[in-house]
A and B are shown apart, each in its own frame.
Chain A
Amino acid sequence: MSRIEKGVSFIGQSVPRPQTARLLAGRGVFTDDVKLPRMLHVAFVRSPHARARIVSIDAARARAVSGVVAVVTGQEMTPFCSGWIGTLAHFQGMKSAMQRPLAVGKASWQGEPVAAVVAESRAVAEDGVSHVRVTWEPLPVVTDPETALDPSTPVIHPELGDNLAFRLELASGDAERAFRDADLVISETFTMGRHTGVTLEARAILADFDPSERRLTVYHSFQAPNMMQDILARHLNLPEHDVRVICKDVGGSFGIKVHIYPDEMATCALSVMLGRPVKFTADRLESFVSDIHAREHRVKAELALTRDGTMLAMRVDDLTGIGPYSVYPRTSAVEGNQTVRLMPGVYRFRDYAASLRVVFQNKTPMCQYRAVGHPIAFAVMEAMVDRAARELGLDPVAFRRKNYVTAEMYPHTSQTGYFFERLSHEAALDKLLEISDYRTLCAERDALRPRGVYRGLGLCAFIELTTPGPAFYGVGGARISSQDGCTIKLEPTGKLTCMTGVTEQGQGTDTMIAQVVASTVGVRMEDVRVLTGDTMVSPYGGGTWASRGAGIGGEAALQTGKAMRGSILRVAAAMLQCEPDDLDIRLGKIVDALTGEVRLELAELGRVAYFRPDTLPKDFQSELTVTRHYVPRHQGFAFTNGIQLSHVEVDVETGFVRLLKHWCVEDCGRIINPRLVDEQIRGAIVQGIGAALYEHLVYDGAGQLLTGTMMDYLVPMAAEMPDIVVGHVETPTAYAEGGFKGAGEAGTAGAPGAVLNAVNDALAPLGARVTDQPITPEVVLRALGKL
């Protein structure tokens, strides 16, 4: 810690990201940019039906297309790639069916891959796909989660007995009694529509199996290369150390590129089968039906209060549909689980009861997408809070203050068992009110209403689960690392090469790691080069997801940097015949610790250590490559908190919501790079705004996706997005030396709730209220009784 606070530190500085230079020059290397000798391309035959029996597949005409090399069905692939079941042991009673890279016997969602066509180009592979004749027997479908468990509803996988994937009942205190004693009970039902990540670079994978060595090298647009390495090894029956996964530039991830996809597994199996490199790059239309979807929750919530505005208790019933399979290996139960566990955590009331049902349906599989569960939890919680304040005639700010878990209550354990070391709800709220000039905005809103201008202000307080330890996946049996390593090597030139287990998809992971390493070792930023995303090179680690990069990767880098500094100083002391403690490293030079006088250049130290060790004492061995690891051991997660404010104007004639401005104050502990954190927050907020207002995967009753193009699925664009002001409170965690926590998902966690509350604030004088997201013009006009 002293290294961070004392002397020259890059921690806390908005250092620009060095790797942007090549991305700005068109010299990035994304997976589809990689080209190998004898490379083939695969395209998939996908089910046009939401549920159907595959009667037969006739590939003869496809095989006859010039340039088609192979057509492979699910049955033909089965001996080469074993199936998987997406359950975790710590989700008690959870079940799911065996899933395979290509469907065998039946298809269970529109878009499920059922056959692969491999050809000399992607265009020819697609020609081949159009010539594969599948005879289907369509079956009755399950789409509506509300009726998925009815006895009259068909069971998607008969071997499971019913369509229930997971059920959870949570109870803390005595909610029933609190509801009986309450002065006021409010209840409401919320829906949040299905949406997805729409990474601008679609999923892509290039598998290169060398049959002579039986080694598989995979270039993958992915977040967790070691997880993929493990899974490929086990399901393709290869020794793990013969599988190498390389993640080059990744064009957006957001949790989409951290799951096992059948088409990607099939691509790797095809490379093994054919002994040639095979590339799969999803096109946008197949992305919409094959990338994981998220949300689709229906939440019934009830809140019990006293007349003076004290929250007493809450009851919640969450129902979510996850498609026909729980996604491997993280499972599709996590979002519902987090929704009901996170929901009450901002507030101090103790009586809480929640019921969760996670059901199968014939839609694209659903799994973890940025801010997993949080946007649902806090949209529901904060909408209930605003409504309670309104019904009691209380100010929404004062109402929150009255019910917050307050500063003196930490450390604090939530109603659902989450441990909060120290959160800063009150300080964050104070800062938000200040930077937004909230009271002035309220006055302006009130002044405009008589003129028929309906503006609204919506607050959304939230907590964010970051920096997860092994309790997240490891204890459930998933081989997903919660620890990460960092290796630093001193080059003979005195520069540092650093390899880390966390990965880069644009967040600035490598810059953040370089800042920590430069600061702890004592060199300049330009002296550190960071390498990520290669399982043969990087220390074993989990990659980047669940806002773990800074909290885990950053701390591992810090510990490695300290060790490296010690190693360098031992060499320097041997060269200068003094004690290591007499010396320090500052901006890449060995200096006298007391006077700061330069004693030695690092390049000279490198020269002697590598090329003239004969000049050092005979019993001295320099160690100028060091590795350290870090895993959070003292708490399950490093929770963070924050609050957002949305300012909107609703056109009550058209139902359109115009975003005027958005603010967020969040607390991710010690900030390594303020600009990068702010940009994570802003980007995440816009994804949350997309969920709140625009993005919707709409299905019809037959399980057909109706919004499967970018013309129908609305991604936020520059013109309608507001300016976003970001502020911070810094409460470092004391459980890790760096004090770093995560920041990647906070924006998405709170934005939908803030927008929902702002729209309802605008509609309040008209007696209208919306509870469905996305809040389309149709939703607003229905609420106003105009449709």
Chain B
Amino acid sequence: MDPTVSISLTVNGVAVSRRVEPRQSLVDFLRYELELTGSHVGCEHGVCGACTVRVDGAIVRGCLMLVVQCDGARVETIEGVAGTGEIFDLQQAFAQENALQCGFCTAGMLLTAQDLLMRRPGATVSEIREALSGNYCRCTGYHAIVEAVRKTAEGRGRA
């Protein structure tokens, strides 16, 4: 018996059809089936946020969602979001503030920060810290990340 299920979705604007195992997580599908390795696996139990991706415009944990749940969905990963220029200012601010060291949390951090900046364009520092608290960074101590997001918010406010 074939245990796989047929799904169709768009990933970074490209239509994708695959047969997948029902147990496969979204992030494993992205990494191992589509070789979109920009989304990272940090804990596989929904705590660290390294696997954050966007599904139908909302950020989700790629390790907690099964790819079969994404049938018909619009999935965006760091490769896609970086490619469209949507977060160019945020990436620049991260580079300028050295808001990343090893870079493993960065994709999730950028997508979470972008989600906050879209929802709350004038987010305060404490709102930024709160919004990022589901994304672990072990290198920076968060100070530079918060600064980068704050400066991006400021820049967008001026624009």
> Which residue numbers of A lie inside 8 Å of B, CB to CB?
16-17, 20-21, 23-30, 32-33, 35, 121, 123, 197-202, 249-254, 281, 283-285, 505-508, 675-676, 679, 682-687, 709-711, 715-721, 723-724, 747
* Contact of A16 with B132 at beta-carbon distance under 8 Å, contacts A200-B138, A709-B45, A710-B48 already known: no
Q: Which 8 A-B pairs have the closest CB atoms?
A: A26-B38, A23-B103, A506-B101, A251-B104, A506-B102, A26-B78, A686-B141, A719-B133
Additional pairs, 20, CB under 8 Å, beyond known A250-B102, A710-B48: A16-B98, A24-B94, A25-B38, A25-B78, A26-B77, A26-B79, A28-B38, A33-B37, A121-B32, A252-B101, A283-B44, A506-B101, A679-B141, A686-B141, A715-B138, A717-B132, A717-B133, A717-B134, A718-B133, A718-B135
Bound together, the chains give a CA A214 to CA B141 distance in angstroms of 44
**B137 interface residue, CB < 8 Å from A?**
yes
Bound together, the chains give a CA A285 to CA B43 distance in angstroms of 8
How many chain B residues touch A (Cβ–Cβ < 8 Å)? 57
Closest residue on chain A to residue B134 by CB atoms = A717
Bound together, the chains give a CA A747 to CA B104 distance in angstroms of 21
* 28 A-B residue pairings within 8 Å (CB atoms): A16-B96, A16-B98, A24-B106, A25-B83, A27-B38, A29-B37, A30-B104, A197-B138, A200-B139, A201-B42, A201-B102, A202-B42, A249-B102, A251-B102, A251-B103, A281-B41, A283-B44, A505-B102, A679-B140, A709-B47, A710-B43, A711-B45, A717-B133, A717-B134, A718-B135, A719-B129, A719-B130, A723-B143
Interface majority SS on A: helix, strand, loop or mixed? loop
Q: Is the CB of B102 within 8 A of A252?
A: yes
Q: How far is the CB of B47 from chain A (nearest CB, A)?
A: 4
**B95 interface residue, CB < 8 Å from A?**
yes
Q: How far is the CB of B142 from chain A (nearest CB, A)?
A: 4
Q: What chain A residues lie within 8 Å of B95 (beta carbons)?
A: 16-17, 20-21, 24
Bound together, the chains give a CA A747 to CA B143 distance in angstroms of 14
Q: Is the CB of B136 within 8 A of A717?
A: yes
**B144 interface residue, CB < 8 Å from A?**
yes
Q: Is the CB of B133 within 8 A of A683?
A: no
Q: What chain B residues lie within 8 Å of A249 (beta carbons)?
A: 102-104
**B23 interface residue, CB < 8 Å from A?**
yes
Q: Is the CB of A679 within 8 A of B43?
A: no
**B50 interface residue, CB < 8 Å from A?**
yes
Bound together, the chains give a CA A250 to CA B79 distance in angstroms of 19
Q: How far is the CB of B1 from chain A (nearest CB, A)?
A: 12
Q: Is the CB of B78 within 8 A of A682?
A: no
**B39 interface residue, CB < 8 Å from A?**
yes
**B66 interface residue, CB < 8 Å from A?**
no
**B64 interface residue, CB < 8 Å from A?**
no
Bound together, the chains give a CA A284 to CA B138 distance in angstroms of 14
Q: Is the CB of A284 within 8 A of B44?
A: yes
Q: Is the CB of A506 within 8 A of B78?
A: no
Bound together, the chains give a CA A200 to CA B94 distance in angstroms of 18
Q: What chain B residues lie within 8 Å of A20 (beta carbons)?
A: 94-95, 98, 100, 103
Q: Is the CB of A198 within 8 A of B138?
A: yes
Q: Is the CB of B98 within 8 A of A676?
A: yes
Q: What chain A residues lie within 8 Å of B32 (beta carbons)?
A: 121
* Contact of A721 with B102 at beta-carbon distance under 8 Å, contacts A25-B82, A26-B39, A30-B40 already known: no
Q: What chain B residues lie within 8 Å of A723 (beta carbons)?
A: 143
